Amino acid sequence: MKSIIDQLPPEIARQLHPDRRKNEEAYWAVRDQLLDQYRGQWIGFAAGRVIASGKSPVTVSHAAEETGLHPFFICVGKEDQPCRIRRVSFPYDYAYPGEALPSISVEFRQSSGSPGVILDRVIPDTGADASLLPWADCQLLHLDLALSRQGLVGGVVGSSEPTLAFQIWASLDGLDYPCRLHVDFAGNDRILGRDVLNRLAILFDGPTSEVVVNP
């Protein structure tokens, strides 16, 4: 399988930590040996071994990154399946009053408890596997590319695209939640995915046009 890093823009790929490529290559060298034990599980792979594993990608990715080994992160046996950011577009019916789009404000933080950047018009999307921000927003967060890792992102249908993923935190209602943030190099939508939403009680109150967090 072609390295995900090689599919990224060259000026971005050059800034990734070199161990990301080494760990990706090392994973593929032993991948078939991991299938029996880890098929269908998310793993962090570094230093020639599995350093974290489990069913929850955001939990596994945060645990793997805490080692400081710049791991390769993948779902064993489903390596070609991208993280789904589900976008569906419908033409507007200009003869009918437009429907409101639910959106919230979220503070994205590099580490839990530290000051971050508050972004508005973030779409809480229960159809998205993970969270996603445009590259311009990621630059506002001053994320270190050397701490990012390669990955794939795509819609419900259509081809997947290379992306970078960061382990950060999303702060809502006074609490910090682990976030598996992907970079969108082409679009402008801000999406909060199930990596965060599944840790919240969230109410979409259409009649009052409100999104209520932890009601």
Domain ranges in the chain are: 5-79, 104-213
Average pLDDT score over residue span 110-136: 91
Q: Would you say 148 and 98 are in contact if contact means Cβ atoms under 8 Å apart?
A: no
Q: Hunting for tokens 């990706």 — which residue is that? A: 24
Average pLDDT score over residue span 23-47: 96
pLDDT digits (tens, 9 = 90+) for 62-93: 999 999 999 999 999 999 888 877 544 333 33
Q: Hunting for tokens 């269908």 — which residue is that? A: 40
pLDDT digits (tens, 9 = 90+) for 139-167: 999 999 989 999 988 875 457 889 999 99
Residue 94, pLDDT score = 40
Residue 29, pLDDT score = 95
Q: Would you say 186 and 57 are in contact if contact means Cβ atoms under 8 Å apart?
A: no
% of the chain at pLDDT higher than 90: 59
Residue 123, pLDDT score = 86
104-213, what's its fold? Answer: Cathepsin D, subunit A; domain 1 (2.40.70)
Residue 97, pLDDT score = 45
pLDDT value at 191 more than 90: yes
Residue 215, pLDDT score = 62
Residue 92, pLDDT score = 30
When pLDDT is cut at 50, 70 and 90, the band that residue 49 belongs to is: very high
Average pLDDT score over residue span 17-25: 94
When pLDDT is cut at 50, 70 and 90, the band that residue 210 belongs to is: confident
Query: Which DSSP string do the residues of the chain spell out, in sequence order?
Result: ---SGGGS-HHHHTTS-HHHHHHHHHHHHHHHHHHHHHTT-EEEEETTEEEEEES-HHHHHHHHHTTTS--EEEETT-TTPPEE---------TTSPPPPPP-EEEEEESSTTS--EEEEEEEE-TT-SSEEEEHHHHHHTT--GGG-EEEEEE-SSS--EEEEEEEEEEEETTEEEEEEEEEESS---EEE-HHHHTTS-EEEEGGGTEEEE--
Residue 90, pLDDT score = 36
